Amino acid sequence: MPERYARRIPEPTVIRLPLYQRVLSVLAQDRVATVSSAELAEACGVNAAKVRKDLSHFGTYGTPGTGYDVEYLLGQIKRELGSDRQRPVVICGMGNLGHALAGSPGFRTGGFEVVGLFDVAPRRIGEMVAGCPISHISELAGVCASEQVSIGVVTTPPNVAQDVSDRLVAAGVTGILNFAPAVVSVPFSVQLRQVDFSAELQVLAFYQAHPETAVARRNGERQSSDPGSRHGV
């Protein structure tokens, strides 16, 4: 088994990898050759020790006094995330949010290609969004099979989110990103990520109500007792 699949990278590290990729992509565009863990940590809002530990999970340790090669590190992270190749994605639920996501450049820059848009409203069927037609949900299974889709995005009203998720699972999708404000159940073999805008707003409201907690959290993220950060790695 290849090493990248044999290793278990902790989920907190996986969650931070897209952030590292975003910062490194900007550095690469600006033709910055190297970056230290302290610089990368500052840009990402974490501490340098955490950056070094995250990157060490896939054998990247940097060079003392120099730091990390930006292009090489960016390539490694893209391979780990699977964003070094195009992955087909379908979006189910073409209301305002579905339209916005379908037209988002983040799909293409992140290595994803929207190959199917689905809804049930007759007025939306056939509409072109970002070059892709909206189809009836009954065509979901066929598109997933022909395009080898493994990731589905749910942007439906909450009362139909479970039904749409079940359809995605039945169509062979193994990863679901759910934006619907509803609790969705999927088989153990399917990865489910929940994006809850209201919950995130409530977290922000909490930190505004307790500013001392927010300051302590930010300070804790940025502080590092690891002396390695003083050596430019």
**For 25-79, what is each residue's pLDDT tens digit?**
999 999 999 999 999 999 998 889 999 999 988 777 777 878 999 999 999 998 8
Quick: pLDDT tens for 157-166.
999 999 999 9
C-alpha to C-alpha distance for 171 and 141, rounded to whole angstroms: 5
For tokens 């088989």, the residue is 187
C-alpha to C-alpha distance for 4 and 155, rounded to whole angstroms: 32
Give the residue range(s) of CATH 3.40.50.720 domains in the chain: 87-198
Give the residue range(s) of CATH 1.10.10.10 domains in the chain: 3-80
For residues 99-124, average pLDDT: 90
The predicted pLDDT at position 6 comes to 44
The predicted pLDDT at position 224 comes to 43
Q: For 181, how many CA atoms within 13 A lie in the half-sphere containing its CB? A: 5
The predicted pLDDT at position 216 comes to 64
41 in Cβ contact with 68 (< 8 Å): no
The predicted pLDDT at position 221 comes to 57
- DSSP secondary structure code for residue 122 in this structure: T
How would CATH label the architecture of 87-198?
3-Layer(aba) Sandwich (3.40)
The predicted pLDDT at position 81 comes to 85
Query: For residue 192, is pLDDT > 90?
Result: yes
The predicted pLDDT at position 107 comes to 79
State the CB neighbour count (10 A cutoff) for residue 36.
21
Q: For 129, how many CA atoms within 13 A lie in the half-sphere containing its CB? A: 28
H/E segment holding residue 101: helix 96-102
For residues 174-179, average pLDDT: 97
For domain 3-80, give the fold. Answer: Arc Repressor Mutant, subunit A (1.10.10)
- pLDDT bin (cut points 50, 70, 90) of residue 19 is very high
pTM: 0.77
The predicted pLDDT at position 222 comes to 54
- pLDDT bin (cut points 50, 70, 90) of residue 150 is very high
The 3-state secondary structure of 165-176 reads HHHHHHCCCCEE
Query: For residue 142, is pLDDT > 90?
Result: yes
Please tell me whether residue 64 adopts helix, strand or coil conformation: coil
Sign of the Cα pseudo-torsion (151, 24, 56, 86, in order): positive
Q: Beta partners for 133?
A: 128
